[in-house]
């Protein structure tokens, strides 16, 4: 179950802890122990991701994930996958306890993972109740609703938590880095807009999954934008609208990042942005 669900993705979230810590401390100054601890935190995030995805696929009745059948679709698994998701989640505090219990930031790590899990579950709830199965009502969709869903469902656990883990390891207080959180949340929203775009226009063999957000009446950025633009003729302009959004968002994020006083933190944020700008999957 672990082999099927945890390591199969791009591992961007986990690797970003290591990359961020290297940029904060300086790669030449890292000890073997520090690299190991950063990797352990990275794997905690990948475990969290696996837990979310196993349950999300059941709720969405999805068929494929990362180029293979969803875990619950396997004949011998089915609804056992619900308990598997709970087991995945419960590995996280065990890993943290084993490797970080003696660290001054141990409680902060526990708080961080608990808070991010709550934020993500809240985003999933808003998404699910906005898109009730069988209810084909687009009237409640808007950019503000889309933003709220994405901010909570994706941005915190995909973008904020890897950098927050690295900052805690580096001895920083997260309350002193609200601007960093704000930039990463904006980046997470941009990432999800890309995902919505690729859901419709990306090649399934490249993206690794067959998606149907629009058919399922999900609150997708493309749907929201199409509704905003109104008539049939304007729907043809969605490609151009996305490219314009991507370029303007990139420019805005770079400006926000460059206002941060720390060059090391700027490097962390620019590294993140570089990984997702104009991505194809």
As for how many domains the chain has, the answer is 2
In a shared domain, residues 236 and 154: no
Q: Could you list the residue range(s) of the whole structural domain that residue 116 is in?
A: 1-190
**According to the model, what pLDDT value does residue 16 have?**
93
Has residue 13 been placed in a domain?
Answer: yes
**According to the model, what pLDDT value does residue 251 have?**
93
In the structure, what pLDDT confidence band is assigned to residue 204 with cuts at 50, 70 and 90?
low
Mean pLDDT of 110-117: 96
In a shared domain, residues 25 and 85: yes
In a shared domain, residues 119 and 48: yes
pLDDT by residue (tens digit) across 228-255?
766 666 656 657 777 888 899 999 999 9
Q: Is the pTM of this model over 0.75?
A: yes
Considering 160, 190, 220, which residue would you say is the last residue of a domain?
190
- Spatial neighbors of 98 by CB under 8 A, at least 6 apart, are none
In a shared domain, residues 169 and 239: no
Structure tokens at 268: 């962390």
Has residue 202 been placed in a domain?
Answer: no
- Nearest CA-CA partner of 241 in 256, 255, 227, 257: 227
Look up the CATH number of the domain holding residue 148: 1.10.600.10
In a shared domain, residues 264 and 137: no
Percent of the chain with pLDDT over 90: 58
- Please say whether the beta carbons of 183 and 256 come within 8 A: yes
Has residue 217 been placed in a domain?
Answer: no
| Of 14 and 280, more confident | 14
In a shared domain, residues 140 and 252: no
Has residue 227 been placed in a domain?
Answer: no
Has residue 22 been placed in a domain?
Answer: yes
In a shared domain, residues 176 and 63: yes
Residue 208, phi then psi, degrees to nearest 5: 90, 5
pLDDT by residue (tens digit) across 152-190?
998 999 999 999 999 999 999 999 999 999 999 999 989
**According to the model, what pLDDT value does residue 203 have?**
62
pLDDT by residue (tens digit) across 57-72?
999 888 888 889 999 9
**According to the model, what pLDDT value does residue 93 have?**
97
In the structure, what pLDDT confidence band is assigned to residue 83 with cuts at 50, 70 and 90?
very high
Has residue 49 been placed in a domain?
Answer: yes
Considering 190, 223, 255, which residue would you say is the last residue of a domain?
190
Asked if residue 279 has pLDDT above 60, the reply is yes
Has residue 138 been placed in a domain?
Answer: yes
In a shared domain, residues 170 and 263: no
| Of 241 and 211, more confident | 241
In a shared domain, residues 112 and 249: no
**According to the model, what pLDDT value does residue 280 have?**
77
């Amino acid at each position: 179950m672990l082999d099927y669900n945890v390591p199969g993705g791009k591992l961007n979230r986990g690797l970003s802890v290591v990359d961020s810590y290297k940029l904060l401390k300086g790669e030449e100054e890292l000890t073997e122990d520090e690299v190991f601890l950063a990797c352990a935190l990275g794997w905690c995030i990948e475990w969290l991701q696996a837990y979310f995805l196993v349950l999300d696929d059941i709720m969405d009745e999805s068929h494929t994930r990362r180029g293979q059948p969803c875990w619950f679709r396997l004949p011998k698994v089915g609804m056992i996958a619900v308990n598997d998701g709970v087991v995945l989640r419960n590995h996280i505090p065990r890993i943290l306890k084993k490797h970080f219990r003696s660290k001054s930031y141990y409680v902060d790590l526990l708080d961080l993972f608990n808070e991010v899990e709550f934020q993500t579950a809240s985003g999933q709830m808003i998404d699910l109740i906005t898109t009730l199965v069988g209810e084909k009502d687009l009237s409640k969709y808007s950019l503000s609703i889309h933003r709220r869903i994405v901010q909570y469902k994706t941005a915190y656990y995909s973008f904020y938590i890897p950098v927050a883990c690295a900052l805690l390891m580096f001895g920083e207080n997260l309350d002193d880095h609200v601007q960093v959180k704000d930039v990463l949340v904006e980046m997470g929203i941009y990432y999800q807009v890309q995902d919505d775009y690729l859901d419709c226009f990306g090649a399934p063999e490249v993206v690794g999954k067959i998606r149907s957000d629009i058919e399922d009446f999900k609150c997708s950025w493309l749907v929201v934008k199409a509704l905003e633009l109104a008539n049939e003729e304007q729907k043809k302009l969605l490609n151009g609208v996305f490219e314009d959004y991507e370029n303007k968002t990139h420019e805005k994020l770079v400006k926000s990042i460059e206002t941060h006083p720390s060059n090391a933190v700027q490097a962390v944020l620019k590294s993140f942005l570089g990984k997702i700008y104009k991505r194809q999957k």
